[in-house]
Structure 1
């Protein structure tokens, strides 16, 4: 168990020696990396690399039996309530109730976190302002654009003031403008709110040279470092293809 002083000094996310199998299929093999406090980390990999499996282990949708996963210093297996309370999650699949207004969607989620009444209304107003959707509170989720829905899901993930945001292919299905808006929003939240972020993607254009990048391929970490250093003198896409080609 980790005490308060240990948690305060711990990284936002620690993944150490994590492996996972589905029967005979090895989905993750000895995965290790960290996400620092107030940092942006891109988990880069093609479909089937193991990104969603790792997210499912972090969020306890699957039970991890090998290695250590800790959120803000709290072990996800031994201290699941403390670990999950510090997580905000946006999965690839849409998760808003299309028949409810944005306000109603957020109020329902706030209640799941034990936030109700005036406190919920105040916090909902805060997160809608953060994602520039204050004017959409009373409209049904079904009427929001794809980019607005993603921003709404980020607002929902922020309701309980998490220390770490997990975003699994958050821009999937969005046009170029909406992708840029969502990416810019997350980076602004890091700068202004100090929220750490693990951003799973297969889109190289979403990664900036100064970003921390973890390359995941066929369940294994092939590279872990700054994007510019991994790319060298060429584009990151070329370095990625070289890494994954050698591992194919």
Structure 2
């Protein structure tokens, strides 16, 4: 029994001593690996193994050396093998930048100032050097549109104030107005830009105070002898109980406000 235990211990110690750390075989994007022994690629390499690599054209290592040495350590490859993109920044068309004529490294950002009437795509003023080049071309394009617009968009309970045309040149403006008792929300003007009209306004519903609703709650208009009343959104309307009914809601409820076509009636019993 003792001999069996000794044999197991010897086998375990031998196994542990034979274990060696390793690194995954280096595969470097846009990099070229050099191995003086011309070993074929394999899945892993032992700790202590050294390789040299260089980067493809338009890419460079963090050290900016042509040949770069990497060594397999217990924690992995040291230094970490990388090839970073080089982005040449030309002179800006229709604009300028302090980086004109310079070369930048992947991850760098460059600020561009466009001439008046010009802008970068997306109306940004910064582009970034990425793995596949600049995030957008360093070119400022004219912001003036040559696209025409069709008829202005229709709105409910409202219309434009001018005679409608079938085609409008870029930069054209039209104005809207609402029908009586409807409240206009938004800009009164809409503009033709890039073949599209800007967002039109809305005409918010008026409140209709009807005799049927007033009879339902036993109320009438205070100081007014009418069976129907139109009230704009945001305006107040005052009620009172019909004789001989008494108020069943708060005093404040008898001064109600019109909110987008809805008004809450007070109640009398």
TM-score (norm: length of structure 2): 0.14
Q: Name which structure has the greater RCO, CA cutoff 8 Å, separation 6+.
A: 1
Pick the structure with more helix per residue. Answer: 1
TM-score (norm: length of structure 1): 0.15
Pick the structure with more strand per residue. Answer: 2
Larger Rg: 2
